[in-house]
Structure 1
Amino acid sequence: MADKVYPSKPTPNGAAATNPPFPATKAQLYGANRPAYRPQPRHRHRRGCCCSFCIFLTLLILALLFLAAILAAVVFLLYRPQRPSFSVSALKLSYLNVSQSSSTVSSKFDLNVTAKNPNKKLVYYYGPITISISSDGVDVGDGSFPSFVHGTKNTTLLETSITSNGGGGAIDAGSLTQLTSDMKSKNGLPLEVKLETKVKAKMGSLKSPKVRIRVTCLGIKVSVPSGNATATVTASTAGAKCKVDARVKIWKWTF
């Protein structure tokens, strides 16, 4: 018996017959063209090294601070360091004139300062000492003391003459008026004496670095000779008190 042959169905518009497309695979549906996953290396080892270094550095700083504290305690117990003291033992004024035309001050002072070292095992080495005498913020005289060595349990008298010929520059009108009024006051002209220098200490074979110090003396009053009087006037220093402050400079700042 012969097989029956069935004719194919005609395609629309005379197009050739094509096989139906196969359905998309799972790889095509979910992005077969994406790059293969490559795990990134982790930096745990590097982070661990940084943490270990920070811990080591912190422990080193703490150990150095602890050793410094122990050394300071030993030095204090062995030497019992004390600050030096200063006092204005005498201040004499020969003249103090104010020029109204140039707004400048000319003066002459004789200053005696007593420095005491109360330590038994501590020697101070002072550099040149600058002196400034002012009244209500107005500079009325500048001078200096030479450098000196301050031995143990020693009292040193420093003497100098301070002369000003108006080199400090012109004074503003308000300060000039206040200075002129104080010069005529019966209570006397209030003065402030400042000393600045660098000092280092020697304890046996140990020497400290140089430290800047400022000595400020307040409570000094002097009567200004009136007119053309040339008599020297002794200032009242009974109530004078001097304060010693260390001035530490860190970069641009001074404390």
Structure 2
Amino acid sequence: MADRVYPSFKPATNGAIVYVLYRPHHPTFSVTNLKVLHLNVTSSSTINSKFDLNITAKNPNKKLDYIYDTITVSLLSNDIDIGDSTIPAFVQGKKDTTLLKVDITNTSNTLDSGSVSTLKMDLKRKSDIPLTIKIDTKVKAKMGGLKTPKVGIRVTCNGITATAPTGKTVATASTSASKCKVDIRIKIWKWTF
């Protein structure tokens, strides 16, 4: 008589044990401050921009650390990329709040004609320009001597508006209505947080 083969529930059991013991929550992000130092479109349809961005990252967990890879930050207006930067890899301890300071610049992106017209129109109006911040990275959690595999996360921050600065005056964006949504980029982790 052939031996019966039973399905293994070890991964699910291990996941349940980790959840019960550590009660993990995903990190949270918020836009603390955004200053517009320079923003215009040149005659050759190239964006020339410079921003100072402060983002606060919080680890709400009491029993685990987060280990972040290098973080890519993109600043968009109406889906037009107007600046990019990176944040070096770092480790965030338990219940820690980390202030991330980023200089965002763009001096080389050439826009298509549709994007040029949209951005130039927004700048000419001298009214608030809608801005979106996108953050992409990979992160793993450390619980004692145990480390999880890396998973991708994307953070999208909306509800930010700013006006283009005039002359040497720095414009401060309005971030009071901003909200940042964290998306785990692998489905198996969605139930964990």
Give the TM-score taking structure 1 as reference length. Answer: 0.69
The match for 2:37 is: 94
Higher helix share: 1
- Structure exhibiting the larger radius of gyration computed from Cα positions: 1
The match for 1:234 is: 172
The match for 1:84 is: 27
CA distance in 1, matches of 2:155, 2:147: 22
The match for 1:75 is: 18
CA distance in 1, matches of 2:173, 2:54: 11
In the TM superposition, residue 128 of structure 1 has moved relative to its aligned partner by: 0.8
The match for 1:13 is: none
CA distance in 2, matches of 1:179, 1:206: 48
The match for 2:191 is: none
* Percentage of identical aligned residues: 52
In the TM superposition, residue 99 of structure 1 has moved relative to its aligned partner by: 1.1
Task: Give the length in aligned residue pairs.
Answer: 187
Q: Does 1:103 align with 2:41?
A: no
2:116 is paired with a residue whose SS is: helix
In the TM superposition, residue 184 of structure 1 has moved relative to its aligned partner by: 3.0
Q: Which has the higher contact order (CA 8 A, sep 6+)?
A: 2
1:184 is paired with a residue whose SS is: helix
Amino acid at match of 2:92: H
Unaligned runs of 5+ in 1: 1-47, 250-255
In the TM superposition, residue 111 of structure 1 has moved relative to its aligned partner by: 0.4
The match for 2:77 is: 135
CA distance in 2, matches of 1:171, 1:79: 47
CA distance in 1, matches of 2:127, 2:49: 20
Of 180-189 and 213-222, more deviation after overlay is shown by: 180-189
Unaligned runs of 5+ in 2: 188-193
CA contact (8 A) 1:184 1:224 kept: no
Of 109-118 and 136-145, more deviation after overlay is shown by: 136-145
Higher strand share: 2
CA distance in 1, matches of 2:126, 2:176: 17
Runs of 4+ in 1 over 4 A off after TM superposition: none
Give the TM-score taking structure 2 as reference length. Answer: 0.91
CA distance in 2, matches of 1:151, 1:174: 45
2:10 is paired with a residue whose SS is: helix
CA RMSD of aligned residues (A): 1.8
The match for 2:190 is: none
